[in-house]
Amino acid sequence: MFSQTSEYAIRALIEIATRPEGEHVLSSELGESLGIPQHYLSKILQQLVRTRVLKSVRGRSGGFRLARSAADIRLRDIVEPFEDLKKCEECILGQPVCSDAGACPLHDFWGDVRERYVNELETKSLADLTDYQLKKLGSMNAGLFKRVGSVPGKESLKQKSKRKKVGTK
Amino acid sequence: MFSQTSEYAIRALIEIATRPEGEHVLSSELGESLGIPQHYLSKILQQLVRTRVLKSVRGRSGGFRLARSAADIRLRDIVEPFEDLKKCEECILGQPVCSDAGACPLHDFWGDVRERYVNELETKSLADLTDYQLKKLGSMNAGLFKRVGSVPGKESLKQKSKRKKVGTK
DNA sequence: TCTTTATCGGATAACTTTGTCCTAATATCC
DNA sequence: GGATATTAGGACAAAGTTATCCGATAAAGA
Ligand code: SF4
Ligand code: SF4
């Protein structure tokens, strides 16, 4: 549903948003604590600066911070640079147009899913996501998105590569 | 939602299923009429032979046909070799476990979507998909999945490459 | 048996996504 | 001003997906 890149973006923004307002967070620290490749994350954050979701300050005591209140950042604003949202307007089976008039049995399914998807992107804000995080942090002492133990983020990523291929046995 | 490969597989099977039962369909003809790269489609069909969804006959008057009735072929049987279905059991934000206890605002959305998705895969059969096709063919004289005009399949594929990239402006 | 027709299946290429590395630019602190 | 810390951004590498090519294999028909 979300690309790896979008997932990184969301997780990083949640982390940034839970920090004291105005504090600058280092991309290296984010990558380290979230188990996201640091330099790759840098590029993602840079992109979010360009789309005015984040602001950055260079040099000593620099870093990234939100460009505006978390409540004003929609999920859509976060993933837009990394997802082809137009694609989900199209037919799931590759038809040029996908109309309800004359729908195949997959049409209802696909229509519902994407409606819910775009609705989620439009209505959920970064604040909605962090609210839960903050509640959790109250009762536990480890952040949900912090890695615990032996870098589970990296490991689970590698395991994903075991997919079956088309041509080879 | 579906990979390009899965989409090809579904479209090809729909086409095969609408042919007279037992007739052998050539992979080259399928690729040609559906606008799917012929040799790539061959590999996909070969894979479906291995998973016993299709049967193939080599040599003269050979080709592909369904291994069993279209009603007995679930959508899941079709896409399983090409999709990582385990992946959709996992958290949309990459958490090791994704439980309802302590759900973030995306959890409900993701839970509903994937439930609907796996349900669709399990319950919809190839016959369900072709029923609609056949009805259409009764009133129109062109198949919905046949390409019309100037190879729209190929073109729309190329256009997809215009996505924004992460690092480069 | 020989030719023709197709699938089978390996090798490889093109493209996309993901990840790494290095240098330049810039801000802070001494 | 110089040392240091940090983002900016280009080049490149690795991995995954999609697509192409070609020879081997098998079946049918003359
Ligand atoms: S009815 Fe089904 S096949 Fe036709 S355009 Fe809609 S989703 Fe695609
Ligand atoms: S609650 Fe949200 S973040 Fe937590 S595991 Fe479920 S989907 Fe992932």
Residue percentage of chain A with pLDDT more than 90: 59
Gap from A61 CA to D2 C1', in Å?
Answer: 18
Which residue of B7, B50, B129 is in closest CB contact with A104? Answer: B129
Tally DSSP H helices, then E strands, for chain A: 7, 2
Specify if B15 maps to a domain.
yes
Percent of chain B residues topping a pLDDT of 70:
74
**Would residue B157 count as lying in a domain?**
no
Q: Is residue A115 part of a domain?
A: yes
Residue B17 in any domain: the answer is yes
Region A53-62: mean pLDDT is 94
Are B156 and A96 a contacting pair at CB < 8 A?
Answer: yes
Residue A158 inside a domain? The answer is no
Q: Is B163 within the bounds of a domain?
A: no
Q: Is pLDDT at A31 greater than 80 in this prediction?
A: yes
Place of tokens 């620099």: A62
Full domain range(s) for residue A60:
4-149
Residue, of B72 and A145, whose pLDDT is higher: B72
Q: What are phi and psi of B8, to 5 degrees?
A: -60, -45
CATH assignment of the domain containing B91: 1.10.10.10
Structure tokens given for A168: 């080879």
Please state which of the ranges A63-77, A119-133, A146-160, B17-31 shows the lowest mean pLDDT. Answer: A146-160
Residues on chain B touching A136 (C-beta within 8 angstroms):
102
Least CB-CB distance to A166: which of B47, B145, B152?
Answer: B47
- Say if B158 falls within a structural domain: no
In a domain, B160, yes or no: no
Look at residue A41 in the predicted model and tell me its pLDDT: 98
How confident is residue B100, by pLDDT bands cut at 50, 70 and 90?
low
pLDDT digits (tens, 9 = 90+) for B107-128: 889 999 999 999 999 999 999 9
Cβ within 8 Å of residue A138, ≥6 positions away:
none
Q: Do A136 and B102 touch (CB under 8 A)?
A: yes
Please count the structural domains in chain A: 1
Q: Which of B89, B99, B100, B104 to mutate to test the pocket of ligand 2 (most atoms within 8 A of CB)?
A: B104
Asked whether residue B98's C-beta has any atom of DNA/RNA strand C within 7 A, the reply is no
Reduced to 3 states (helix: H, G, I; strand: E, B; else coil), residue A63 is strand
- What is the position in ligand 2's atom list of the atom closest to the CA of B91? 8
Q: Where are the alpha helices (DSSP H) in B19-151?
A: 27-34, 38-50, 75-79, 105-123, 126-139
Report, as an integer, the average pLDDT of B75-98.
Answer: 88
The number of the ligand nearest the C-alpha atom of B120 reads 1
Strand C closer than 7 Å to the CB of B60? yes
| Per-residue pLDDT at B89 exceeds 90 | no
Task: Judge whether residue B160 has pLDDT over 50.
Answer: no
Q: Alpha-carbon Rg of chain B, whole angstroms?
A: 19
